Structure 1
Amino acid sequence: MERWPALELASTIRHDGTGGVADDLATPQSTARWIHRQAELLAGHVDVAGLTVDEKLSGEIVGLRRAVRALFAQAVSPAPPSRADAHRLMPVEQALAHLNAAAAREAIVPQLDWPGDAPPRVGVLSDESDTNVRLIAALARAAIDFLSGPQREQLRACNAPRCVRYFVKSHGRQEWCKPSCGNRARAARHYQRHNATPTRDLPGT
């Protein structure tokens, strides 16, 4: 399954398995773990091994996530957005300004790399020495690429009970982000059908 950095960032808000919502960026430590899981996706843009994740960097990534999730909500409209933050979304114009400003923090030159028999890939040449700035800019550029690409048309908010994820629809009938969400949604529908209280007409009505 294809992975996108923007979708990975948005998915740091997720169902915690017990009915609540978990935040993978809640602390600098959990943020560092998430960043290192994205090392392969960010290769060619930033070397995450050299990062020092503190409160400032963690807060900047959370701010970028707010902007991305607001724009994801705009992308799936008029369908409802993720329930996790539908009531406190950043205004779209503010989200756009935030995303573009983050991307502009690093001046880059695209570079083509073609190693041996492997497919060619794009990297970037940058004079930016601050790895933290490079990370924020790379995540912002990835979000811009995602939202301006064809996958935006297939972006959906999972409507299964308790799920708060966004996902990219991979086939025509896909309604949920993963099979377990589909099973939970079907079970909920079955319960509702078989436990609905029938209404009876009162005598004389």
Structure 2
Amino acid sequence: MTGNARSAASSPHRPEPLPPAPGEERSPALALVNTLTTRGGTPVDELDTPRRAARWLADRRLTDDGLSLDAAELDGLHRLRQAVRGLLDAAVTGRAPDARWVESVNRALSAAPVTATLAWPAGGQPSRHTRVAADRPVARALHRLADDTVSLLCGPDAEALAACPADGCARLLLRTHGRRQWCCTRCGDRVRAARHYARRRAAADLSTD
């Protein structure tokens, strides 16, 4: 994100946050890409500062509360978001993705490899657990976001991935219901209002002919 865009996004006159788009509750990767939107032609970035990014990660249980991000970690989160957005857009449009996006996701996965561990408490049953091996909590969070990206692209939800068709909306969603088209009620109301206005204008034009 450019310096101008970041400055605009961190303006004190930030618009009210949009409600989560359908699918965000089960896909943190989808929620990640929807943190960067355009509202009224102005970029709005929910992760524009280390503090907001840390809060977002903790709210989605990707990290614990009280995490502090440094500038490099915030930049890494932004870079992964850009790559995930590119990959999801490619899936929606059917275009081939940029190889750099694939590399960015794979880098996040390899930076925090997963190891399997066995637990067998006294008097209990054995169970298998996985552990993300990384020194920093942010690296583990990026791994989970990258892993969810792969699951979203390669799993059954890939067919439900869609872009909100409302004009000016940049959010993605999962069509979890056959009749659901918009990312939120606000977009749906805006589109219906625009259609109603267009019909009235067309009728007025016909009446003056």
Aligned length: 177
The Cα of 1:49 is off from its aligned counterpart by 3.0
Q: Distance in 2 between matches of 1:138 and 1:21?
A: 26
For the structure 1 residues 167 and 71, does the alpha-carbon distance in structure 2 shift closer, same or farther, using more than 3 Å as the test?
same
Identity fraction in percent: 34
Question: What is the correspondence of 1:44-123 to structure 2 with a 5 Å cutoff?
Answer: 47-49=63-65, 51-78=67-94, 92-110=98-116
Q: Distance in 2 between matches of 1:136 and 1:19?
A: 29
Q: Distance in 1 between matches of 2:164 and 2:38?
A: 11
When normalised by structure 1's length, the TM-score is: 0.74
Query: For the aligned residues, what is the CA RMSD?
Result: 2.9
For the structure 1 residues 128 and 50, does the alpha-carbon distance in structure 2 shift closer, same or farther, using more than 3 Å as the test?
farther
**2:58 aligned to which of 36, 54, 76:** 36
1:20–1:162 contact (8 Å) kept in structure 2: no
1:22 and 2:29 correspond: no
- Kindly provide the amino acid, as one letter, of the partner of residue 205 in structure 2: P
Higher mean C-alpha displacement, 101-110 vs 149-158: 101-110
1:50–1:131 contact (8 Å) kept in structure 2: no
The Cα of 1:136 is off from its aligned counterpart by 1.6
1:13 and 2:36 correspond: yes
Counterpart of 2:158 in 1: which secondary structure? helix
1:198 and 2:205 correspond: yes
Q: Distance in 1 between matches of 2:152 and 2:118?
A: 20
For the structure 1 residues 126 and 71, does the alpha-carbon distance in structure 2 shift closer, same or farther, using more than 3 Å as the test?
closer
- Kindly provide the amino acid, as one letter, of the partner of residue 103 in structure 2: A
2:117–2:128 contact (8 Å) kept in structure 1: yes
For the structure 1 residues 179 and 112, does the alpha-carbon distance in structure 2 shift closer, same or farther, using more than 3 Å as the test?
farther
- Kindly provide the amino acid, as one letter, of the partner of residue 14 in structure 1: T
The Cα of 1:59 is off from its aligned counterpart by 0.6
The Cα of 1:19 is off from its aligned counterpart by 5.3
The Cα of 1:92 is off from its aligned counterpart by 2.0
Cross-structure match for 2:6: none
When normalised by structure 2's length, the TM-score is: 0.73
- Kindly provide the amino acid, as one letter, of the partner of residue 176 in structure 1: W
Gaps of 5+ in 1: 80-90, 114-120
Gaps of 5+ in 2: 1-21, 120-126
For the structure 1 residues 23 and 99, does the alpha-carbon distance in structure 2 shift closer, same or farther, using more than 3 Å as the test?
same
